[in-house]
Chain A
Amino acid sequence: MANQDFSLIFERGKKGRTSYSLPEMDVPEMDLDNEFENCYVRSDAPDLPEVSELDIMRHYTGLSRRNYGVDSGFYPLGSCTMKYNPKINEDVASLDGFSHIHPHQDPKTVQGAMEMMYDLQASLSELTGMHDFSLQSAAGAQGEWSGLMMIRAFHEANGDDNRTKVIVPDSAHGTNPASVTVAGFEPVTVQTNENGLVDLEDLKRVVDEETAAMMLTNPNTLGLFETDIMEMAEIVHGAGGKLYYDGANLNAIMGYARPGDMGFDVVHLNLHKTFTGPHGGGGPGSGPVGVTEEFVSYLPKPVLTKKDDQFVFDYDRPASIGRIKPYYGNFGIYLRAYTYIRTMGAEGLKKVSEYAVLNANYLMRRLEKEYVLPYQQHCKHEFVLSGKKQKQLGVRTLDIAKRLLDYGYHPPTIYFPLNVEEAMMTEPTETESKETLDGFIDAMLHISEEAKNEPETVQEAPHQTVVKRMDETTAARKPILRYQK
């Protein structure tokens, strides 16, 4: 890539250059400045770019070439389910009748949109074995939080005000305990046992009359199915607590098992993971929440329902936790998920999980020859390797990740979960072919050889990227968070 221009958009263009094409001023103009006190009329224009339309296209095309997505190559980022984003989904989301409709239009004029949402709610309920779904949550984290708020409302409605604690496994993603705090609860950690599963004895020890809920993902963040799930449900329910399902890992079990059948009371799903909503460079996502029947009255409002063949938004929900987002959530992402579910059907979605699990196990068995595999059983959609053997050679997991960039791959999630030393959490997804997996395996095995024979090649990686390793310490110590002339 010769002739690269790394300029900021503010450093491009020239004073006086424009690229807008605004509608014409076809009404008589009035004196605006008279209407406002002087201090309300902006004295200097904000320093936005002064560029031509081609400047913009060159700039952002340049940026896109310095970025890496699923369409660029293999992206086995564990727990993020970086599967292919189907193109028909994007086309559907761009239809005028979906993308250019206003949330406050009379429901009679948006029945098509509401029908899609209603149908999606029903599909998600069926897939998870839950009674009902609210689509409103903007992302997984907001789904967790609103789910916990419903559990809080449930306990409060039962006069159970002392339930202030939520149990979270030590392998859980940091979002879980953060959501617990934001919902006004206190997190309590339960340990993982030597098999990578929740330690039942420890669970019995931490559960008590203050337990509001336990949060769990199944399969867990190690990619392992929590085989004692029914016992766990019994322990938590027996103490009067509720079971919360973090749906980050649903891609592993569609058609094989449903959270609702495992005793979960409240679940959230990430439509941008399992259901192919594109990750967008960090969002927007969507985190619908499903509940059992006893939680239906607590769902965020408004609730989409059907009355006399008409879809309506029901605001008359006195027990609801309230509104968690303006309007009805990230509708644009529902369209993608819905299109995907309709493309795959029950049969296709079961195959998705089958192949996601097959791909992960194949990758795991090939890589365990050179990398430490802390938990030996079959995995589900993802697995966690440890780089501790390579660490003894002076090569850290971070170095391996950076070296993978040279081979053209996005690395796995690293240093997570926290209970595995030098962790590499790898999730290939079902949309990757065997050739792609084999290529990645070759690269990983090659890096392992490099670690033995020429460790500096790995330690000093990446060598092929547009920039080298970044000085993150200075970035945090003396933050520069905006451009200044």
Chain B
Amino acid sequence: MEFRYLPMTESDKAEMLTTIGVESTDALFADIPEDVKFKGQLNLKKPANESTLMKELTSMAGKNANLKEYSSFLGAGVYDHYIPSVVHHVISRSEFYTAYTPYQPEISQGELQAIFEFQTMICELTGMEVANSSMYDGGTALAEGVTLSAGQTKRNKIIVSKTVHPETRAVVQTYAKAQNLEIVEIEPENGVTNLEQLEKEVDETTASVVVQYPNFFGQVEPLDKVNAIIRQQKKTMFIVSSNPLALGYLTPPGDFGADIVVGDTQVFGIPAQFGGPHCGYFATTDKLKRKVPGRLVGQTTDEDGERGFVLTLQAREQHIRRDKATSNICSNQALNALASSVAMSSIGKYGLRKMAVLNMQKARYAKQQLAAAGMPAVFSGPFFNELVIQLPGDVADINDRLVKSGIIGGYDLGFTYPEWKGHMLVAVTENRSKEEIDTFVKELGDIHG
């Protein structure tokens, strides 16, 4: 059997063994004790040639209903947005995707500069002073933010609004348990954080308050009021998880006094790919720059005084600081951060607002049409591109019927909020045409009867 990734020839092998001074490669494994050696045959499928495997995997992919062929109204943190063609062409350049962390700046200026530009774009969007090179995803970025706030304030109570993405809250719970932090959740009121309850909970033991903007229900949280409550406690930190596309229209969290802003740039140039890899971002204030988890790229000069870029403030990181590091994270989502940078460059300064507004207009049209068909939005406040409607019956059953009409319906809220059983979270992005929206409403209306 030949393997196209293995260039070893019999003559190479013989020469190399002679140089090493052994008879066979088995001698190089002789130090593995007998009782540890694996003597069987691994039970894996037989090696497959390129065309056969491609055929098989294409057919496996064909078993999945994909967002290119179906008309999707599913969002809940992962969205079907316009991906400019340039994105794939740039990230397919193998100088980017076959490289690793830019440890050697002299031959990694491309990656380093790309990250520096990404950091700048995130600062611009969020209204914050510092952003890192990226995190695994929005959920773990928030968990890292929460951990940072506890370390910084030496407090262990974290207040999280229940309007934050439920899977993100679950991740925060797991990280909090590791650090013995106490999580207090605030109930929603008309789809946004209940401010009265928040005010009662914020006290001198509170490390941070977490809200999402726009929140999981698509509603825009009143950040000015939340901030006013938080500021009654001197040290308590304000953490905002934010969909960066919405920030093309909405005032950035930085302008409302946020200490940490996190989220996911999946909305910019990254396909849904069953939930990952996406790309978390982490932005904060200048004051906290030496506490940031993950990689940071800084501008400097070389010996000739030319501008260049390096990984910097590495004293925070695990490979230097070991158990005293600000986080154990080593990798970032460099390639996806690159994809998002290209998408943000392509959408550009003017396109961003336009794209955000397209989402908002189409979502409002859908809202109007749904209401006219007897399915009014449940919440009345300002929203971005998602809305909650009530349906007569089980959402999963309804989605089952929609799929047969080529539609991927919205998120079944009852899945994570038992009290919202029978409610669907509907996302409408710029990719949905009027015709698709009309069909969706009609199909739902038919089911509605």
Contact = CB atoms under 8 A, between A and B. Distances in A.
Residue of B44, B92, B104 most packed against chain A (CB within 10 A): B44
Contacts of B94: 69-72, 85
A141 B330 contact: yes
Contacts, number: 683
B347 A20 contact: yes
Interface stretch (A275-283, A384-392, A442-450, A451-459): A275-283
B64 A109 contact: yes
A96 B365 CA distance: 28
Top 10 A-B residue pairs of the complex, sorted by shortest distance between their CB atoms: A327-B275, A97-B61, A112-B63, A103-B275, A280-B335, A67-B110, A69-B98, A284-B277, A345-B47, A20-B351
A257 B28 CA distance: 13
A180 B54 CA distance: 41
Name which of B274, B332, B334 has the most chain A CB atoms within 10 A of its CB. B274
Given A64-B93, A329-B276, A174 B60 contact: no
Contacts of A347: 1, 47
Interface string A240-279: 0000000000000111111001100000000010000011
Given A257-B32, A329-B276, A467 B336 contact: no
28 contacts: A21-B82, A26-B433, A39-B251, A42-B251, A45-B248, A45-B350, A60-B342, A65-B95, A67-B102, A97-B66, A102-B74, A109-B65, A141-B330, A174-B325, A175-B318, A181-B325, A255-B42, A280-B99, A281-B96, A282-B102, A282-B334, A284-B277, A326-B275, A342-B48, A465-B106, A470-B301, A479-B298, A482-B130
A144 interface: yes
A32 B384 CA distance: 10
B33 to A, nearest CB: 6
Given A27-B365, A64-B95, A325 B312 contact: no
Nearest to A345: B47
B32 A362 contact: no
Interface residues of A, number: 200
User: Which of A177, A410, A467 counts the most chain B CB atoms within 10 A?
Assistant: A467
A282 B177 contact: no
B171 interface: yes
A42 B249 contact: yes
A402 interface: yes
A262 B33 CA distance: 10
B96 A280 contact: yes
Interface residues of B, number: 206
Where chain A touches its partner, the secondary structure class is loop
B321 interface: yes
B43 A20 contact: no
A416 B318 CA distance: 13
A472 B106 CA distance: 12
Interface in B75-134: 76-78, 80, 82, 84, 86, 88-90, 92-111, 113-114, 116-117, 119-121, 123-125, 129-131, 133-134
A57 B90 contact: yes
Contacts of A318: none
Interface string B19-56: 11110010111111101111001111111101001100
B300 A472 contact: yes
B12 interface: yes
A101 B272 contact: yes
A100 interface: yes
A481 interface: yes
A479 B275 contact: no
Interface string A140-170: 1110110001001000000000000000000
A109 B325 CA distance: 42
Interface string B350-387: 11111101101110110000000000000000100000
B5 to A, nearest CB: 5
B434 A27 contact: yes
A182 to B, nearest CB: 5
A468 interface: yes
Nearest to B93: A64
Nearest to A350: B42
Contacts of A358: 8, 13, 16-17, 20, 25, 28
Interface string B314-353: 1101111111110111111111101001101111111111
B214 to A, nearest CB: 10
Given A112-B64, A113-B64, 15 more contacts: A6-B113, A9-B345, A46-B349, A48-B124, A51-B348, A60-B342, A115-B63, A139-B331, A141-B329, A144-B328, A174-B322, A326-B168, A328-B274, A342-B48, A470-B106
Nearest to A279: B100
B16 to A, nearest CB: 4
A91 B312 CA distance: 35
B195 interface: no
A45 B174 contact: no
A332 B354 contact: no
A18 to B, nearest CB: 5
Interface string B413-442: 000000000000000001101110100000
A479 B31 CA distance: 49
Contact of A326 (B32, B77, B108, B361): B77
Interface string A82-124: 1111101011111111111111111011111101100000010
Interface in A340-376: 341-352, 354-355, 357-359, 361-362, 365-366
Given A281-B338, A284-B335, A469 B303 contact: yes
A155 to B, nearest CB: 14
A179 B86 contact: no
A88 B50 contact: yes
